[in-house]
Chains A and B, each alone.
Chain A
Amino acid sequence: MREKWTGELTVEQCCNRAAATRAYARYPLKLVLPSKVACSGIDAVWVYLVTYGGGIVSGDSISCKVSVGDHCTLVLTTQSSTKIYKAVQGKFSEQVFKALVAKDALLVMMPDPVTCFAAAKYKQVQHFFLSLDANLVLVDWFTSGRRERGEVWAFESFRSTNNVYLDGNPVFLDTMNLEQDVSLPISSRLQDFHSVAMLVIYGPRLSSIRKRIEERVGSQCEEAVRKKKHRSSTHGRLLCSFSSFGPSDAGLVVRVAAVETELIYDFLKQELAELSDLIGAPPYYGK
């Protein structure tokens, strides 16, 4: 149990509209709540999670607790990619996130990717507690590093945990851990790919979006494994697939890896385009 969170956010229905009734943040976290992101007619609260310096230094821990009330829609995003600076004295940079998503509520968490600098050590733990008919869109992704400086898969450690609980029961427990190892360096595991993303979709309000994502990702996946073009060039290369999870296979997890970060931005914009009807603006617009 955490004693003190660096950020706390509560969104509830107020006068028939969703509103942030609590938005607390202390250094190094800042919450920015612009009022005019969602177009009129769409009831959604948008919050930007901003860190001072655009990143997390070694030894810092950012923790955020979010509560999305009944029938509310909350979008959490970032201004740009989160930079993780090199580890000093072996200390990790850390993010902890806990969200409670109530009845018929929708939480869309669509940040920019995490970029670890050379010798960085990063771990993040994100727990999502959903009520039985709550809805969740979660994007979690990272890049190979500061490519322009020649830093490619040069961080020391990257660990990301995303756990989803439905009515208190664990339905999705995913931890991905990349650690440098002389006998199996991270770069050998990622080959020519420079960006990796995971997209989780859960909830009744998202069923038609989910169905179309499955169709498109399925045919892209088929193309990737059936065509021989990847053998001659890596240009534009993107590999994706999906799996169902949870009771009655109600959840969907999509995994993507691409040779360029831009390709995943394009992928997410395309797959999540229909979400703009629920959140009031196209995801990753302008990115």
Chain B
Amino acid sequence: MKLSRPSVTQCTGLAFRMDLPAKKSQGSDWVVWQLVDSFFPTGGFAHSYGLEAAVQAGLVSDSKSLDTFIKSTLENSGSLLLPFVSASFKLPDVAGWIELDRLLNATLSNHVARRASSSQGSALLRTAATVYPDLAELGELRGVVRAGRASGHHAGVFGIVCGLLKLDALTCQRAYLYLTLRDVLSAATRLNLVGPLQAAAMQQSLRGFGEAVVRKCADRGVEDACQVSPLLDTAQACHDHLFSRLFCS
């Protein structure tokens, strides 16, 4: 007996707008969730955003200094890197991206941060090109980075990937800050500074601060990019001198 399939409208009680592409109405949430999921293989967990060096330099030693560290790192991400995320989001063409990547390379004067950025950017580019093979520009960018014509810095890759996926600009920038918080808390847990439950609670309690950083820094021009924590910047560049290291940066 052939069962008649109920219509989608009957199932959900909603009337789907037929002119909206399915990707936008259902898929774009999945796209964002996948991008910020720790399961997405981009190597973020090899980097501590300078936390490991800050701990060994005596700058982070308790929950109060850890809280300050995380807030400073979020603020720094917003002030220094969000302009590049935003600019490459708006300009999803290869030539423009190469130029932005060059500027970002000159802006990342801290070699440890620079190294982490190009390593994570290359990993994101590789994964995104595999997951979205129909986005030919990603393949082109991979070629450019492999040929040494660009470093493939993370902020620029994240922005252009979001732009090519036609995500919302603000969502892209919020997601970038979310990733920063995710990775720093992950590092803090692995460095035994906090337990996983406490880290999850901190992730929630810092949400408001993160959103405030996005509100302040969203859509700033790259000429306004600036760093906001000279002490942590100094410590991060010490990373290669640490006696024992869990992280690459």
Interface set of A (CB-CB < 8 Å, partner B): 159, 161, 170-179, 181, 183-184, 188-191, 193, 196, 198, 218, 221-222, 224-226, 230-231, 239-246, 253, 255-257
Contact = CB atoms under 8 A, between A and B. Distances in A.
Given A170-B102, A173-B106, A253-B109, A193 B53 contact: no
Given A190-B231, A231-B58, A231-B61, A243 B237 contact: yes
B225 A241 contact: no
Contacts of A196: 230-231, 234
23 contacts: A159-B226, A170-B102, A170-B106, A172-B109, A174-B107, A176-B227, A177-B79, A178-B228, A184-B72, A189-B68, A189-B228, A189-B229, A189-B230, A221-B237, A225-B238, A230-B57, A231-B61, A239-B234, A243-B110, A245-B111, A255-B234, A255-B237, A257-B231
A112 B214 CA distance: 36
Interface of B: 53, 56-59, 61, 65, 68, 71-72, 75, 79, 102-103, 106-107, 109-112, 114, 209, 212, 224-238, 241-243
B103 A170 contact: yes
Given A184-B71, A230-B58, A239-B231, A174 B241 contact: no
A91 B59 CA distance: 34
Nearest to B232: A189
A184 B71 CA distance: 7
B61 to A, nearest CB: 7
A245 B106 contact: yes
B45 to A, nearest CB: 22
Contacts of B241: 218, 221-222, 225-226, 241
Given A190-B231, A224-B238, A245-B106, 6 more contacts: A161-B226, A189-B232, A191-B231, A221-B238, A230-B57, A257-B230
A175 B56 CA distance: 26
Given A184-B75, A245-B106, A175 B231 contact: no
Contacts of B242: 225-226
A183 B235 contact: no
A253 B111 CA distance: 10
Nearest to A163: B106
Contacts of B209: 183
Given A193-B231, A255-B230, A243 B238 contact: no
Contacts of A246: 106
Q: Please give me the 7 A-B residue pairs with the lowest Cβ-Cβ distance, nearest first.
A: A241-B237, A243-B111, A175-B226, A177-B226, A230-B58, A255-B234, A222-B241
